[in-house]
Amino acid sequence: MTGFQLFADILSLLADHSEQIAFFASVVVMGLGAAALFLVCFEWSWLAPHYREFWPKFFLAFLRVFAAVAAIVAKNAAPIPGKMFWQQPWAGTLAFAAIGYLLCEISGAIGDHRFKLDKEEKNCKIEEEIENLKEDRDDAEFEALRLNWLITHLRRPVNEKRQRISHMIAQAGAAGRASVQQARRGLAPEDQVHILLEMIAAFFSLEAVNRDPKRHNQNFRVGLFAEKHGRLELIDAFDLVTRSHRPFSSYQNLADRYRLDNVINPSHAVRCVREGQTLIVPDCETEPDFEYFNERQRSYLKSMVAFPLNGLCVNGTNPVAAALLIDTTEPGFFSKEDRDTIELVLGEFALRIGLEYAVRGLIEPTATQERSG
């Protein structure tokens, strides 16, 4: 028997049993289509990484073709006269093939849709990661800019004091040495603390303008409070808009709220000293723990920080409880998320304020006598 005859016999055998083969193929296609549908619906996490690969797509395409061929073969079978369509022997084959083809199409459509959603979700995550990286970069650049501002603002008070001392030395004239009174005036803390408070206000104003150029009129008030007779009293202050060094009055009008033993309704200055931590009020209107002293404050007191000063020696010898208070006219300016940076900035200024008052212990007779005693 030649190879050609063998091939012809096989074709003849297939033709004689085409209906049975088509029926079996349609059942197989329907089962595999149902399996494909199950995978895309319930096992997508396992299937997703391989869905767009060659073999899964080829498998679905093969099933579609197989179902179509089975249906064509079944439909071409000789009909039995006198019987309805669903009573024909090939009706089951055609139905199974059609169902299998439909299942393959549905599986492919669901798979394509889920793959598209996964791709969109992945792209969203990538874009979100890129945005987060950009924000981190912007935050890092802004922090570097802040540190540069801080260095710049700390340099000016040093330069001012150097010039003041140089002026005192120049006034000494031919004597070649400044008098004790001149030395005291040159090293006295008042002028230097004035400048330091101005620099704190200027620093935050620069940050406000950097956030939004329209905020060049945003005001900042800075107050330095220290203990005297059991309550916090204003030592020095600065208002950026009015340039006044006495912008606060509530410590006089509501003196009880500045008493260090007030446990009912203490001011935030007292609270930060007693709690030993920085108090940040992002929005005074909405902060549950904040209470306005009067209605007029609502127009200018929108956000604030109370920063405790440890070991401040206002008289040069005896450390007392003290605090820095900064408020502004823009709600939300001070943020609790910026606590580390705020504490860094105020800590640097507080260190220099403390140094200025510590020097008083060396240059003023009263402080020297108290220390000797």
Q: Is residue 94 part of a domain?
A: yes
Torsion, Cα of 22, 28, 32, 34 (10° steps): 90
Same domain (yes/no): 94, 232: no
Identity at 109, one-letter amino acid code: A
If one compares 104 and 86, the residue with the highest pLDDT of the two is 104
Q: Is residue 33 part of a domain?
A: yes
Region 240-258: mean pLDDT is: 87
Q: pTM here?
A: 0.61
Same domain (yes/no): 197, 93: no
What is the distance of C-alpha 324 from the center of its chain? 27
Q: Is residue 165 part of a domain?
A: no
Same domain (yes/no): 104, 210: no
pLDDT above 70 covers a percentage of the chain that reads 73
Q: Please check whether residue 63 is in contact with residue 104, taking contact to mean a CB–CB distance below 8 angstroms.
A: yes
Same domain (yes/no): 224, 287: yes
For residue 314, the domain's CATH number is: 3.30.450.40
Same domain (yes/no): 248, 366: yes
Q: Please check whether residue 317 is in contact with residue 366, taking contact to mean a CB–CB distance below 8 angstroms.
A: no
In the numeric block, the tokens 């249906």 are attached to 71
In the numeric block, the tokens 């920080």 are attached to 305
Same domain (yes/no): 208, 272: yes
Q: Is residue 139 part of a domain?
A: no
Q: Is residue 252 part of a domain?
A: yes
Same domain (yes/no): 99, 204: no
Q: What residue numbers bound the domain in which 252 lies?
A: 188-372
The pLDDT of residue 371 is above 60: no
Q: Is residue 153 part of a domain?
A: no
91-100, 123-132, 155-164: segment of lowest average pLDDT = 91-100
Q: What is the DSSP letter of 318?
A: S
Number of domains in the chain: 2
Q: Is residue 290 part of a domain?
A: yes
Angstrom distances, CA of residue 224 to CA of 151, 354, 359: 21, 11, 18
Same domain (yes/no): 360, 271: yes
Angstrom distances, CA of residue 79 to CA of 72, 74, 86, 112, 129: 13, 10, 11, 39, 64
Same domain (yes/no): 121, 209: no
Query: How confident is the model over 166-191, as pLDDT tens digits?
Result: 777 676 665 566 666 766 777 788 88
Same domain (yes/no): 273, 347: yes
β-strand pairing of 220-228 with 303-312: unpaired
Length of the chain: 373
Residues 6+ apart with CB under 8 A from 262: 256, 270
Q: Is residue 116 part of a domain?
A: yes
What is the predicted pLDDT for the residue at 161? Answer: 75
Same domain (yes/no): 224, 361: yes
Same domain (yes/no): 202, 275: yes
